[in-house]
Amino acid sequence: MSNPARTMLAALFHALERFEAWFDRRFGWFFTNGMKDRERKGTAFTSARTRSAPR
């Protein structure tokens, strides 16, 4: 791999790591704890496999 490509990938991975840290600080609790124990009264919470199965 050439040096410019390696530099670009390193910068991309660094930016993704920073985004991951920001996202976890800002929204992490909601996605890990906030969605737990939600009641599913008549809502369409199904897995993707269930929705894509032929009917």
Residue carrying structure tokens 């930016």:
15
Band of pLDDT at residue 40, cut at 50, 70 and 90: low
- pLDDT one-digit tens code per residue, 14-37: 999 999 888 888 877 666 665 555
Domain ranges of the chain: 3-52
| Collapsed DSSP state (helix, strand, coil) of residue 54 | coil
- pLDDT one-digit tens code per residue, 42-52: 555 555 555 55
| pTM check: above 0.75 | no
End-to-end CA, the chain: 48
Query: What CA–CA distance (Å, rounded) separates 3 from 15?
Result: 18
**Exposed, middle or buried by CB within 10 Å (0-12, 13-18, 19+), for 28?**
middle
